[in-house]
Amino acid sequence: MNSLLKVLQDGRFHSGQELGSALGISRSAVWKHLQRLEASLGIQLHKVPGRGYRLAEPISLLDREGLELEFEQLGWALRVLENTDSTNAEALRLLSSGAPPPFVVLAETQTSGRGRRGREWVSPPAQNLYYTLALTITGGPQRLSGLSLVVGLAVMHALRQLGVERAGVKWPNDIYVDGKKIAGILLELTGDPADVCHVVIGVGINVNMIADAVEIGQAWTSMRVESGNLVDRNELARVLSRSLQHYLNRHTDEGFSGLRAEWESNNIWRGQRCCLSAGSQHIKGLVLGVDEQGALRLMVDGQESRFSGGELSLRLDHDS
Protein backbone atom coordinates (compact mmCIF):
# COMPACT_ATOMS: atom_id res chain seq x y z
CA MET A 1 0.00 0.00 0.00
CA ASN A 2 2.93 2.31 0.71
CA SER A 3 4.16 1.69 -2.85
CA LEU A 4 0.89 3.06 -4.19
CA LEU A 5 1.17 6.14 -1.99
CA LYS A 6 4.71 6.75 -3.23
CA VAL A 7 3.39 7.11 -6.78
CA LEU A 8 0.43 9.26 -5.73
CA GLN A 9 2.23 11.50 -3.21
CA ASP A 10 2.92 14.24 -5.79
CA GLY A 11 -0.79 15.14 -5.82
CA ARG A 12 -1.05 14.76 -9.61
CA PHE A 13 -3.42 12.59 -11.62
CA HIS A 14 -2.25 9.06 -12.45
CA SER A 15 -4.24 6.72 -14.66
CA GLY A 16 -5.20 3.26 -13.49
CA GLN A 17 -3.02 1.82 -16.23
CA GLU A 18 -0.04 3.92 -15.10
CA LEU A 19 -0.50 2.86 -11.48
CA GLY A 20 -0.89 -0.78 -12.47
CA SER A 21 2.27 -0.69 -14.59
CA ALA A 22 4.27 1.00 -11.84
CA LEU A 23 3.21 -1.60 -9.27
CA GLY A 24 3.02 -4.66 -11.52
CA ILE A 25 -0.69 -5.29 -10.82
CA SER A 26 -3.91 -5.17 -12.85
CA ARG A 27 -6.16 -2.11 -13.08
CA SER A 28 -8.85 -3.93 -11.08
CA ALA A 29 -6.27 -4.66 -8.38
CA VAL A 30 -5.32 -0.97 -8.38
CA TRP A 31 -8.96 -0.06 -7.70
CA LYS A 32 -9.14 -2.48 -4.76
CA HIS A 33 -5.88 -1.11 -3.35
CA LEU A 34 -7.20 2.45 -3.63
CA GLN A 35 -10.38 1.52 -1.80
CA ARG A 36 -8.37 -0.04 1.02
CA LEU A 37 -6.19 3.05 1.11
CA GLU A 38 -9.18 5.30 1.69
CA ALA A 39 -10.79 2.95 4.22
CA SER A 40 -7.72 2.12 6.31
CA LEU A 41 -5.87 5.44 6.30
CA GLY A 42 -8.70 7.90 5.75
CA ILE A 43 -6.80 9.47 2.85
CA GLN A 44 -9.10 11.31 0.44
CA LEU A 45 -8.78 10.50 -3.27
CA HIS A 46 -10.14 12.34 -6.28
CA LYS A 47 -11.28 10.14 -9.18
CA VAL A 48 -11.91 11.74 -12.57
CA PRO A 49 -12.90 9.61 -15.61
CA GLY A 50 -10.32 9.94 -18.35
CA ARG A 51 -7.70 11.44 -16.01
CA GLY A 52 -7.33 8.85 -13.27
CA TYR A 53 -6.68 9.25 -9.56
CA ARG A 54 -4.93 11.76 -7.37
CA LEU A 55 -4.68 12.57 -3.69
CA ALA A 56 -6.81 15.48 -2.48
CA GLU A 57 -3.54 16.97 -1.19
CA PRO A 58 0.08 16.06 -1.96
CA ILE A 59 1.93 14.33 0.87
CA SER A 60 5.53 13.71 1.90
CA LEU A 61 6.25 10.07 2.71
CA LEU A 62 9.15 8.92 4.85
CA ASP A 63 12.09 7.53 2.86
CA ARG A 64 13.76 4.91 5.04
CA GLU A 65 16.62 4.21 2.67
CA GLY A 66 17.31 7.90 2.17
CA LEU A 67 17.36 8.52 5.93
CA GLU A 68 19.50 5.57 6.99
CA LEU A 69 22.82 7.06 5.88
CA GLU A 70 22.17 10.25 7.87
CA PHE A 71 21.33 8.27 11.00
CA GLU A 72 24.37 6.03 10.57
CA GLN A 73 26.52 9.17 10.61
CA LEU A 74 24.86 10.19 13.87
CA GLY A 75 25.48 6.73 15.31
CA TRP A 76 21.76 6.07 15.75
CA ALA A 77 19.87 3.03 14.46
CA LEU A 78 16.64 3.78 12.59
CA ARG A 79 13.28 2.03 12.39
CA VAL A 80 10.59 3.38 10.06
CA LEU A 81 7.05 1.97 10.42
CA GLU A 82 3.98 2.44 8.25
CA ASN A 83 1.83 2.52 11.39
CA THR A 84 2.09 1.84 15.09
CA ASP A 85 0.09 2.57 18.19
CA SER A 86 2.70 5.05 19.41
CA THR A 87 6.37 5.57 18.56
CA ASN A 88 7.11 5.92 22.29
CA ALA A 89 5.32 2.64 23.02
CA GLU A 90 7.21 0.93 20.19
CA ALA A 91 10.53 2.26 21.50
CA LEU A 92 9.72 0.95 25.00
CA ARG A 93 8.88 -2.47 23.55
CA LEU A 94 12.15 -2.51 21.63
CA LEU A 95 14.08 -1.65 24.79
CA SER A 96 12.29 -4.44 26.68
CA SER A 97 13.25 -6.90 23.95
CA GLY A 98 16.92 -5.92 24.25
CA ALA A 99 17.36 -3.52 21.33
CA PRO A 100 20.44 -1.39 22.10
CA PRO A 101 20.02 2.39 22.16
CA PRO A 102 20.51 4.91 20.74
CA PHE A 103 17.84 4.36 18.11
CA VAL A 104 15.02 6.33 16.51
CA VAL A 105 11.50 5.16 15.70
CA LEU A 106 9.56 7.00 12.98
CA ALA A 107 6.03 6.23 11.81
CA GLU A 108 3.77 7.36 9.00
CA THR A 109 0.83 7.31 11.40
CA GLN A 110 -0.08 6.44 15.00
CA THR A 111 -3.31 4.80 16.08
CA SER A 112 -2.91 5.77 19.75
CA GLY A 113 -0.55 8.72 19.75
CA ARG A 114 -0.34 10.28 23.18
CA GLY A 115 0.82 13.50 24.74
CA ARG A 116 1.42 14.48 28.34
CA ARG A 117 -1.12 13.74 31.08
CA GLY A 118 -2.69 10.96 29.00
CA ARG A 119 -3.93 13.28 26.25
CA GLU A 120 -4.40 12.03 22.70
CA TRP A 121 -1.90 13.21 20.09
CA VAL A 122 -3.78 13.51 16.81
CA SER A 123 -1.78 11.57 14.20
CA PRO A 124 -3.20 11.71 10.66
CA PRO A 125 -1.31 9.52 8.17
CA ALA A 126 1.69 10.97 6.30
CA GLN A 127 0.96 14.48 7.60
CA ASN A 128 3.14 15.09 10.64
CA LEU A 129 6.35 13.88 12.25
CA TYR A 130 5.96 11.10 14.82
CA TYR A 131 9.45 10.62 16.21
CA THR A 132 10.99 8.88 19.23
CA LEU A 133 14.66 8.76 20.23
CA ALA A 134 15.72 6.12 22.79
CA LEU A 135 18.85 6.78 24.86
CA THR A 136 20.75 5.31 27.79
CA ILE A 137 21.30 7.77 30.65
CA THR A 138 23.96 7.20 33.31
CA GLY A 139 25.27 9.44 36.06
CA GLY A 140 22.24 9.88 38.25
CA PRO A 141 19.27 12.26 38.39
CA GLN A 142 21.34 15.34 37.48
CA ARG A 143 21.67 13.97 33.94
CA LEU A 144 17.87 14.18 33.65
CA SER A 145 17.59 17.68 35.08
CA GLY A 146 15.97 20.03 32.58
CA LEU A 147 16.15 17.41 29.82
CA SER A 148 12.68 18.06 28.40
CA LEU A 149 13.44 21.79 28.21
CA VAL A 150 16.67 21.10 26.33
CA VAL A 151 14.79 18.89 23.88
CA GLY A 152 12.37 21.78 23.43
CA LEU A 153 15.27 24.03 22.41
CA ALA A 154 16.42 21.44 19.88
CA VAL A 155 12.95 21.17 18.34
CA MET A 156 12.55 24.95 18.26
CA HIS A 157 15.85 25.43 16.42
CA ALA A 158 15.01 22.69 13.92
CA LEU A 159 11.76 24.49 13.13
CA ARG A 160 13.56 27.82 12.77
CA GLN A 161 16.12 26.29 10.42
CA LEU A 162 13.26 25.22 8.18
CA GLY A 163 11.59 28.60 8.11
CA VAL A 164 9.32 28.72 11.17
CA GLU A 165 11.16 31.73 12.55
CA ARG A 166 8.70 32.73 15.29
CA ALA A 167 8.78 29.36 17.10
CA GLY A 168 9.35 29.65 20.86
CA VAL A 169 9.37 27.36 23.90
CA LYS A 170 6.74 27.03 26.60
CA TRP A 171 7.35 25.30 29.93
CA PRO A 172 7.69 22.41 30.31
CA ASN A 173 7.86 20.92 26.81
CA ASP A 174 5.78 22.60 24.12
CA ILE A 175 6.71 24.72 21.12
CA TYR A 176 4.36 27.50 20.06
CA VAL A 177 4.10 29.97 17.19
CA ASP A 178 2.13 33.17 17.85
CA GLY A 179 0.05 31.55 20.59
CA LYS A 180 -0.61 28.32 18.67
CA LYS A 181 0.92 24.93 19.43
CA ILE A 182 3.09 23.44 16.71
CA ALA A 183 4.98 20.68 18.57
CA GLY A 184 5.05 18.75 21.82
CA ILE A 185 7.44 16.47 23.68
CA LEU A 186 6.82 13.42 25.87
CA LEU A 187 9.68 11.87 27.89
CA GLU A 188 9.28 8.43 29.48
CA LEU A 189 11.80 6.55 31.63
CA THR A 190 12.61 2.92 32.33
CA GLY A 191 15.20 1.61 34.75
CA ASP A 192 16.75 3.33 37.77
CA PRO A 193 17.14 7.13 37.38
CA ALA A 194 19.68 7.05 40.24
CA ASP A 195 21.95 4.68 38.33
CA VAL A 196 21.37 3.53 34.73
CA CYS A 197 18.10 4.14 32.92
CA HIS A 198 16.68 4.48 29.45
CA VAL A 199 14.76 7.54 28.32
CA VAL A 200 12.52 7.66 25.28
CA ILE A 201 12.11 11.15 23.88
CA GLY A 202 8.90 11.46 21.90
CA VAL A 203 8.52 14.44 19.58
CA GLY A 204 5.35 15.25 17.67
CA ILE A 205 5.48 18.08 15.14
CA ASN A 206 2.54 19.40 13.13
CA VAL A 207 4.06 19.43 9.65
CA ASN A 208 1.61 19.40 6.74
CA MET A 209 -1.80 19.53 8.44
CA ILE A 210 -3.92 22.35 7.15
CA ALA A 211 -6.55 24.49 8.88
CA ASP A 212 -10.00 22.95 9.43
CA ALA A 213 -8.73 19.54 8.27
CA VAL A 214 -8.26 18.13 11.78
CA GLU A 215 -10.10 18.70 15.05
CA ILE A 216 -7.72 19.43 17.94
CA GLY A 217 -8.91 20.73 21.29
CA GLN A 218 -6.64 23.79 21.35
CA ALA A 219 -5.24 26.45 19.05
CA TRP A 220 -2.71 24.85 16.71
CA THR A 221 -0.66 25.54 13.64
CA SER A 222 1.67 23.59 11.36
CA MET A 223 4.82 24.16 9.38
CA ARG A 224 2.78 24.17 6.19
CA VAL A 225 0.33 26.72 7.58
CA GLU A 226 3.22 28.97 8.60
CA SER A 227 5.20 28.64 5.36
CA GLY A 228 2.45 28.10 2.82
CA ASN A 229 4.41 25.18 1.34
CA LEU A 230 4.45 21.40 1.60
CA VAL A 231 7.28 20.41 3.96
CA ASP A 232 9.62 17.48 3.28
CA ARG A 233 9.24 15.32 6.39
CA ASN A 234 12.52 13.56 5.63
CA GLU A 235 14.44 16.82 5.71
CA LEU A 236 12.72 17.71 8.97
CA ALA A 237 13.73 14.34 10.47
CA ARG A 238 17.36 15.00 9.44
CA VAL A 239 17.46 18.56 10.77
CA LEU A 240 15.71 17.59 14.02
CA SER A 241 18.12 14.70 14.63
CA ARG A 242 21.19 16.87 14.14
CA SER A 243 19.71 19.51 16.42
CA LEU A 244 18.87 16.93 19.09
CA GLN A 245 22.36 15.47 19.03
CA HIS A 246 23.89 18.94 19.36
CA TYR A 247 21.74 19.98 22.32
CA LEU A 248 21.89 16.60 24.07
CA ASN A 249 25.69 16.70 23.88
CA ARG A 250 25.67 20.20 25.36
CA HIS A 251 23.34 19.03 28.11
CA THR A 252 25.76 16.20 28.92
CA ASP A 253 28.73 18.59 29.03
CA GLU A 254 27.14 21.65 30.66
CA GLY A 255 23.97 20.47 32.38
CA PHE A 256 20.78 22.48 32.09
CA SER A 257 22.44 25.43 33.84
CA GLY A 258 24.61 25.95 30.75
CA LEU A 259 21.51 26.20 28.54
CA ARG A 260 19.23 28.03 30.94
CA ALA A 261 19.90 31.52 29.56
CA GLU A 262 19.19 30.38 26.00
CA TRP A 263 15.96 28.71 27.09
CA GLU A 264 14.88 31.84 28.99
CA SER A 265 15.53 34.07 25.97
CA ASN A 266 13.04 31.98 23.99
CA ASN A 267 10.46 31.52 26.78
CA ILE A 268 7.24 32.84 25.22
CA TRP A 269 5.32 33.16 28.49
CA ARG A 270 7.91 34.86 30.65
CA GLY A 271 6.23 37.81 32.40
CA GLN A 272 2.73 36.47 31.62
CA ARG A 273 0.06 35.68 34.17
CA CYS A 274 -0.66 31.96 33.98
CA CYS A 275 -2.58 29.18 35.68
CA LEU A 276 -0.68 26.05 36.72
CA SER A 277 -2.78 22.89 37.01
CA ALA A 278 -1.79 19.91 39.14
CA GLY A 279 -4.67 17.46 39.17
CA SER A 280 -7.64 19.30 40.65
CA GLN A 281 -5.44 22.07 42.09
CA HIS A 282 -5.03 25.33 40.14
CA ILE A 283 -2.40 27.92 41.03
CA LYS A 284 -2.35 31.38 39.45
CA GLY A 285 0.72 33.55 39.26
CA LEU A 286 3.23 35.50 37.20
CA VAL A 287 5.79 33.46 35.24
CA LEU A 288 9.31 34.50 36.31
CA GLY A 289 11.17 31.83 34.35
CA VAL A 290 12.94 28.60 35.34
CA ASP A 291 15.64 27.71 37.86
CA GLU A 292 18.96 25.88 37.39
CA GLN A 293 17.18 22.52 37.32
CA GLY A 294 14.44 23.60 34.92
CA ALA A 295 11.70 23.99 37.53
CA LEU A 296 9.08 26.68 36.89
CA ARG A 297 9.47 29.89 38.90
CA LEU A 298 6.07 31.42 39.58
CA MET A 299 5.24 34.55 41.60
CA VAL A 300 2.20 33.60 43.66
CA ASP A 301 0.64 36.17 46.01
CA GLY A 302 3.87 38.15 46.19
CA GLN A 303 6.13 35.15 46.87
CA GLU A 304 8.19 33.06 44.49
CA SER A 305 7.29 29.38 44.30
CA ARG A 306 8.94 26.64 42.22
CA PHE A 307 7.23 23.72 40.54
CA SER A 308 8.42 20.64 38.67
CA GLY A 309 6.92 17.31 37.70
CA GLY A 310 5.46 15.47 34.74
CA GLU A 311 1.78 15.97 35.63
CA LEU A 312 1.81 19.77 35.66
CA SER A 313 0.15 21.85 32.97
CA LEU A 314 0.61 25.58 32.35
CA ARG A 315 -1.95 27.79 30.62
CA LEU A 316 -2.41 31.51 30.20
CA ASP A 317 -4.71 33.05 32.84
CA HIS A 318 -7.38 34.57 30.62
CA ASP A 319 -9.22 35.92 33.68
CA SER A 320 -6.36 38.28 34.58
Residues within the annotated binding site for biotin?
Answer: 86-88, 110, 114-116, 181
Cα 16 to Cα 19: distance, rounded to the nearest angstrom: 5
- Sign of the C-alpha dihedral, residues 72, 76, 77, 82? negative
Cα 156 to Cα 123: distance, rounded to the nearest angstrom: 20
Cα 194 to Cα 212: distance, rounded to the nearest angstrom: 46
Binding region: 86-88, 110, 114-116, 181
Residue from 181, 224, 238, 260 carrying the catalytic annotation: 181
Helices 233-254 and 64-74 cross at an angle (nearest 10°) of 20
Cα 228 to Cα 160: distance, rounded to the nearest angstrom: 15
6 an active-site residue? Answer: no
Residue from 27, 36, 117, 315 carrying the catalytic annotation: 315
Which residue spans within 74-122 are E strands per DSSP?
77-84, 103-110
DSSP strand pairing (103-110 vs 77-84): parallel
Residue from 116, 170, 224, 233 carrying the catalytic annotation: 116
User: What is the DSSP code (8-state) at residue 88?
Assistant: H
Identify residue 59 by its one-letter amino acid code: I
143 an active-site residue? Answer: no
Identify residue 154 by its one-letter amino acid code: A
224 an active-site residue? Answer: no
Cβ burial of 270 (10 Å; 0-12, 13-18, 19+) is middle
The CA-CA-CA angle for residues 13, 1, 79, to 5°, reads 120
- Which residues are identified as catalytic? 116, 181, 315
